Structure 1
């Protein structure tokens, strides 16, 4: 009987010794499975996030350039009745009002109605703001004299005190030049606004209607 009990105990311990390594092995396998699942989940999330970032970068070129996206700029020349006339740089798509403000705004004598402040500017364009025309009677009253031509009912061009700057002159000033009437003066101004400032006095011959003959008459009376 005692031997039988010992025999049974030995059998039980032997089974337990066999079960214990199998239990540990099962735990190890389960642990490896959990690690593999966790690793796969992490890799999947990381890959998805990386692809999302790459798509965002491809969709937004500004990110590829360090996060800064600078708009294109243009350069225009503002002259006339302006506080600070000169060359200014504004954003592409800017309007005449933006360039005028960049030059300190209009002078009190500026004739703003003659300028389209809403016009979209082009690179290299010239913007000229004319001054308000002073009525001849007012000017004569201030000087205390009356133009004889006004008495007789005829008009005459006032001779300029010096050469006329064809880049900045108003229509009235251009009208004083030989062979230039009001229509031609306006044509010169429109040419400046579309083509830019004259770089030489000979360039005025590019204006339609001004040939060599007219240029010879005015060349000593103009400058740039």
Structure 2
């Protein structure tokens, strides 16, 4: 039957291949369209609530961070009452040194002078000179 069809249409091999290619392409296109119609669309996720929460938290964090500015020579930080976060705001004072300052204050009592900072491991003479205008003991 296939031979009779070939003979009646009188198609060359190239023409047969083109027709086969077009038929396969047409079938694949129809299959894709059918698939797209039967598969439900992707669920749209509304991120507006999460974005607004993130923005509010980020703004609050920035406000807290901006409030912890390093003390200036005009408003020195009291070593005997400063919190850990306030001590960390000093230049060259990280979390570890701030904890050491607080431990020294708890163990040895209040600082009598700014020079007492030299007794704390991690505070060099150079760092002490840098901190002197920024801290006080009164």
TM-score normalised per structure 2: 0.49
Q: Which has the higher contact order (CA 8 A, sep 6+)?
A: 2
Q: Which has the higher strand share?
A: 1
Bigger radius of gyration, 1 or 2?
Answer: 1
TM-score normalised per structure 1: 0.31
